[in-house]
């Protein structure tokens, strides 16, 4: 996919966002709406053998130094918290009360708080300066370090969650090897990624603009793009056995304010995406078990 094609999609994304907000976004407001770590001009390549999507771009911004507005983060946090709480039926039953849980890429800490509410003992890892500082201000256990530097103090985690960052990593296979080392016997690994198959199927469909726009798929601002079958193959190659898969959509649109119109439109769009035949949803979540 050419630079020109991605530029066209980026412009579509900018118009999509600005028409819903009704004003030009400030530098902080634009984060994860029109400005992304992997959103620079470039090409989107597809591996001929496995069909993985890969961004060929100018050097990306450094996520760890990405500044954020604390007021905006406090505004967004309850929406992320609500989104994770809605996953209780799908995930709480997977682990016993008191289970040690590790989240890689813990962002603002909303899942960590949810995990505590479910009776688990969570720790977060996030290299982002602003995000990790915000999460610690919420009283959550977050370490600003990569997974390769993390060592459990007492017990190995019974589950590792990687929500919304696996597709951004330079060395995904290296991270999978590290999670295999960190997990206890039969430990669980849960990964959530945008669905590259959904993006490729609908990127030229004008009727799917809302589905793409509300799922942060216009311009595909991610380093890697995985299909469900491809991600399953990558996990199996690194000794993880698939147990469950879930259709999903973007956790919450990171608009500074969700007007009644935007909220209703987003909710209708999310339901439409999640009700598509498996596995064609905009986002996918895989639950796997560590194999010997």
| Mean predicted lDDT score pLDDT of the chain | 90
Q: In 3-state terms, what secondary structure has residue 126?
A: coil
Q: What local confidence, expressed as pLDDT, does residue 67 receive?
A: 62
| Residues ≥6 apart with Cβ < 8 Å to 177 | 238
End-to-end Cα, the chain, rounded Å: 39
- pLDDT at residue number 36: 87
Q: Which domains does the chain have, with CATH numbers?
A: 3-290 (3.40.50.150)
Taking each helix axis as running N to C, give the angle between helix 70-85 and helix 110-117, from 0 to 180 degrees, rounded to the nearest 10: 40
Instruction: Label residue 76 by pLDDT band (50, 70, 90).
Output: very high
pLDDT band at 165 (very low <50, low <70, confident <90, very high): very high
pLDDT in tens, 210-234: 999 999 999 999 999 999 999 999 9
In angstroms, the CA 262 to CA 236 distance is: 39
- Looking at the DSSP bridge assignments, the partners of residue 43 are 56
Contact 223, 210 (CB under 8 A): no
- Look at phi and psi of residue 92 and say left if phi exceeds 0, alpha if psi is from -120 to 50, else beta: alpha
């Amino acid at each position: 996919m050419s630079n020109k094609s991605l530029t066209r999609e980026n412009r579509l994304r900018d118009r999509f966002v600005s028409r819903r907000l009704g004003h030009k976004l400030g530098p902080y407001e634009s984060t994860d709406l029109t400005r992304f770590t992997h959103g620079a001009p470039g090409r989107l390549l597809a591996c001929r053998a496995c069909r993985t999507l890969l961004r060929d771009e100018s050097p990306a911004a450094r996520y760890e130094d990405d500044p954020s507005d604390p007021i905006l983060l406090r505004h967004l946090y309850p929406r992320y918290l609500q989104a994770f709480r809605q996953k209780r039926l799908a995930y709480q039953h997977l682990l016993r009360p008191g289970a040690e849980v590790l989240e890689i890429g813990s962002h603002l800490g909303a899942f960590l708080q949810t995990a505590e509410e479910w009776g688990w003992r969570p720790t977060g890892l996030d290299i982002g300066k602003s995000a990790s500082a915000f999460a610690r201000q919420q009283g959550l256990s977050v370490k600003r370090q990569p997974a390769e530097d993390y060592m459990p103090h007492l017990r190995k985690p019974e589950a590792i969650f990687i929500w919304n960052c696996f597709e951004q990593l330079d060395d995904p296979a290296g991270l999978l090897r590290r999670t295999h080392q960190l997990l206890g016997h039969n430990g669980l690994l849960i990964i959530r990624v945008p669905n590259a198959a959904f993006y490729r199927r609908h990127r030229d469909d004008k009727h799917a603009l809302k589905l793409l726009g509300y799922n942060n798929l216009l311009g595909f601002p991610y380093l890697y793009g995985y299909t469900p079958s491809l991600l399953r193959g990558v996990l199996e190659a690194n000794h993880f056995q698939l147990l469950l898969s879930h259709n999903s959509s973007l956790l919450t649109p990171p608009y500074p304010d969700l007007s009644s119109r935007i909220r209703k439109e987003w909710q209708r769009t999310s339901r439409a995406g999640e009700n598509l035949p498996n596995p064609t949803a905009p986002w996918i979540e895989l639950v796997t078990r560590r194999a010997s």
